[in-house]
A and B are shown apart, each in its own frame.
Chain A
Amino acid sequence: MSDLLSWPNGPAEDPTTSQSALIRAEGLTRTYRRGSEKVHALWDVTLAIPASAFAVVLGPSGSGKSTLLNLLGGIDRPSGGRLRVDGVDLRSLTEGQLDAYRRDHVGFVFQSNNLLPNLSALENVALPLVARGRRWSEARRQAVAGLEALGLGRRADHRPSELSGGEQQRVALVRAVVARPDLVLADEPTGDLDRAATETVLDLMMSLNRSLGATFVVATHNQRLASVATQVVELRDGRTSAAGPPA
């Protein structure tokens, strides 16, 4: 952990002022059709998340948490409203620009099956670096450092099927931060983990948030996270019921 904490800090900004917001959404909607029915997965969502914040998105299943993270990460497109990340309007980006946005600015952790099954932990972690144009040999060196920082050095050559659920999520976390993104999106990262592994992964995320200065947006049911978050967004039926610093 000491190696991890020695990673250089990111930009320090006041997370409570919307002036320095990294993410700003206004009237954000995501609508889709289910047969003849029109379903609003997100409706008129307005929020601002400051840079370097540790934001938690709370809400029951089906409330739109994953949809919101999809839009923030550029793996899906809004149907309406405005969505700016670091001043860039994501709705105006082409497919190629969205690829570049994800590659250069975003790290993802999903609930499960985060890793490519035919690659080792090390190769999985190296993927974002290779996507950025690094050679495999160079990417592997950096990936080893990342894995060792999170205590996974001995598991580097193991394939996902040889790792426990907690280890897989930690590998996914290293992969999400290895290329030093501005924004880390984690969708129910502890949903499939036992209590001990959940605590480990949550502690790691908070440590990484502090040491790297990256903005974390975590969708979760875990109320404990809400108490330590710098920003809480509550969603209900696709709408924001609350957004801002924790009460």
Chain B
Amino acid sequence: MIHLALQDLRRDRLTFAFSVLGLGVLVFAFLLLVLLSLAVNRLGEAGGLPRNLILVERGVLQPELSRIDPGLARLAASILGDRLNRIDPVIFRILRIEGHPIQLRGVAVESWPTTFRLQLLEGDWPSGPSQVVLGRLTAEGGGWGIGSRIEVYGRSFRVAGIADGPGTKTQTLWMPSSAASELFGPDKGPQVLVIQLHPGADPLTARQDLEDGLRTAGVDYDVYFEDALLRQYGAALSDLRSLSIATGIIAVAAVTLGSHNLAWLAAEERQRALGILRAVGFGRRAVGLYLLLRAALITLAAYLLALAAAILFLRLGMGPNHLDIGGSRTTLSLSPATAGTGLALASAAGLFGTWWSIRRILAASPATLLDRGPGSSFA
């Protein structure tokens, strides 16, 4: 039967080429949508979603005037449960350094690239308490670079790196929490608590639950999203993820329908040939196998074509090969596992679509296929 399927395709090259091309376009769209969906997922997991809530004292207009009770972090953790990923106390000050208004943020260094999504543009993260990292706008505004020294409250700090974060519009200076605590003394403590939620948690519900829980506990703190703009980005990201999954499913359905139509046309065109095959002794199963093998060869060729097109598209920069959302970037990449899954899904869709369309042909008697039946319905 494989010989028969191969000969059929080899000697009807135009039909074969158009079938492969038609199906290949659908598989190509399916592959790109899968990659987009995976990229959006990665972006969400990497912190693209607005998962940070900020707790400040109620009624305080300027964050540097806020105070955080020592037990507040534990209370917030108990309210959020497994939705909580991490809590960071932040020492927050607005300073004027060499005439430049700068937000100083004293936070544990390990949270800078994760919770605060800082990306190092130059230099290194601080390796000691006398080193700081400047925001890009700060470095540009003050003309500071790696190795520059900055005086804060009479103490000299070396600029170890320059970093940038999503949506940053202010000049910032990042300092290790231990250094900030030592610099400003223990009396005021942190001004803000930044809560990073788990990727699977719904930020809106978590925020509402936290506000309700704090109110019930009788403590007066407001809960904000880190950045309203990031919240919008997050909502868009979430929608994009759902949409790309939905369109991926639609693409699989399109491959199924495309295979169905191709197999239906092939079977209709070959009705007499199939009747002859049945007449010379091939059973229904053998004829079905011939049609399925033929479809499998077309699907495989279409998949290889689509895979080559996707690789060209991504690797040779023939199209956009990355995704920038909320200041976070993720690259569309085609791994062997994704390619294998794509082949399995395309094959399954192709074979299911074919089987779906040829059932009627397989159920028909040889006489009907040969157009020799005396009528359409027999008594």
Contacts and interface: CB of A to CB of B under 8 A. Distances in A.
Interface of A: 30-34, 38-39, 41, 66-67, 70, 73, 75-77, 79, 95-96, 99-100, 102-104, 106-108, 110, 113-119, 123, 127-128, 131-132, 136, 159, 175, 179, 187
A110 B377 CA distance: 23
Contacts of B7: 118-119, 123
B95 to A, nearest CB: 82
A95 B278 contact: no
**Main SS of chain A's interface residues?**
mixed
9 contacts: A41-B375, A70-B372, A76-B373, A77-B378, A100-B283, A102-B281, A117-B273, A131-B280, A187-B372
Contacts of A136: 3
B374 A33 contact: no
A19 to B, nearest CB: 29
Contacts of A102: 278-281, 366
Contacts of B379: 31-33, 38, 79
Contacts of A118: 7-8, 11-12, 273
Contacts of B372: 66, 70, 75-76, 110, 187
B21 interface: no
B246 interface: no
Interface residues of B, number: 31
Contacts of B366: 75-76, 102
A20 to B, nearest CB: 26
Contacts of A117: 273
A32 B375 contact: yes
A116 B8 CA distance: 9
Most chain B beta-carbon neighbours within 10 Å: one of A41, A73, A103:
A103
Most chain A beta-carbon neighbours within 10 Å: one of B276, B280, B284, B378:
B280
Contacts of B183: none
Given A39-B374, A75-B366, A132-B281, 7 more contacts: A41-B374, A41-B375, A75-B365, A77-B365, A127-B277, A127-B282, A175-B280
Contacts of A113: 272
A128 B281 contact: yes
B285 to A, nearest CB: 9
B375 A104 contact: no
Nearest to A172: B276
B281 A75 contact: no
Contacts of A66: 372
B281 A32 contact: no
B367 A76 contact: yes
Nearest to A136: B3
A38 B379 CA distance: 8
A77 B3 CA distance: 31
B260 to A, nearest CB: 22
Interface in B356-375: 365-367, 370, 372-375
Contacts of B282: 99, 103, 127, 131
Given A75-B278, A76-B365, A34 B284 contact: no
Per CB-CB distance, the 6 closest pairs between chain A and chain B, nearest first, are A103-B281, A32-B375, A131-B281, A75-B366, A99-B283, A76-B367
A66 B12 CA distance: 32
A1 to B, nearest CB: 24
A39 B377 CA distance: 11
Contacts of B275: 75
B286 interface: yes
A177 to B, nearest CB: 12
Interface in B52-87: none
Contact of B279 (A30, A41, A100, A108): A108
B192 to A, nearest CB: 75
A117 B7 CA distance: 11
Contact of A67 (B3, B278, B374): B374
Contacts of A100: 281, 283
A77 B367 CA distance: 9
Nearest to B275: A75
Given A31-B378, A38-B379, A118-B8, A73 B279 contact: yes
Nearest to A96: B283
Contacts of B280: 102-103, 107-108, 127-128, 131, 175
A67 to B, nearest CB: 5
Most chain B beta-carbon neighbours within 10 Å: one of A33, A118, A136, A179:
A118
A119 B365 CA distance: 23
Contact of A32 (B12, B370, B378): B378
Contacts of B277: 116, 127, 131
A117 B374 CA distance: 25
